[in-house]
A = this chain, B = another copy of it.
């Protein structure tokens, strides 16, 4: 599997949601399947809201990182460039919206299927369907903004 996140430059590979270098985090992996970006993630038993169902914060988190990764991949694809080519594209989240349609069962993988609905300047919009056992349980909409080049090196404050 050639996941977008495996190509992130090292200084942006520490994210709790999607960084391959974050040992505590989710380390999600996202790939193209045709024109859709797909992330599959199996929650831990403790990622629960009420017993039997997934905690909404996890769903929001997965949508967030799935979408910023999808946005970067879309920009590489739009320019006909490999994921490893320079300069790197990385995106931050401008806004995140999640509609929770029904409880998401926790006893199996969650599938996120994203579509790129807008690419304009430094902005990419990603709409994501969240499915569990093939049933749509949530929808996400993320406005992703291309990260300033000094973001990873700037000090807080």
Say if the beta carbon of A75 comes within 8 Å of chain B.
Answer: no
Which secondary structure dominates chain A's binding surface?
loop
Interface size class of A (residues with CB under 8 A): 35 or more
Pairwise interchain contact B96-A46, C-beta atoms closer than 8 A: no
Q: Which A44-95 residues have a C-beta within 8 angstroms of B? A: 44, 46-53, 55-58, 60-62, 64-65, 92-95
Q: Mask for A145-157, Cβ within 8 A of B = 1, else 0?
A: 0000001101111
Pairwise interchain contact B16-A49, C-beta atoms closer than 8 A: yes
Pairwise interchain contact A103-B156, C-beta atoms closer than 8 A: yes
Number of copies of this chain in the oligomer? 2
Pairwise interchain contact A48-B16, C-beta atoms closer than 8 A: yes
Pairwise interchain contact A94-B103, C-beta atoms closer than 8 A: no
Roughly how many angstroms separate A5 CA and B76 CA in the complex, as a whole number?
Answer: 45
Among A15, A23, A48, A96, the one with the most B-chain Cβ atoms within 10 Å of its Cβ is: A96
Among A52, A58, A154, A156, the one with the most B-chain Cβ atoms within 10 Å of its Cβ is: A156
A residues lining the B interface (CB < 8 Å): 11-12, 14-17, 19, 22-25, 44, 46-53, 55-58, 60-62, 64-65, 92-100, 103, 105-107, 133, 151-152, 154-157
10 smallest A-B Cβ distances: which pairs?
A57-B61, A105-B156, A24-B46, A60-B60, A16-B55, A50-B152, A96-B98, A52-B156, A97-B97, A17-B57
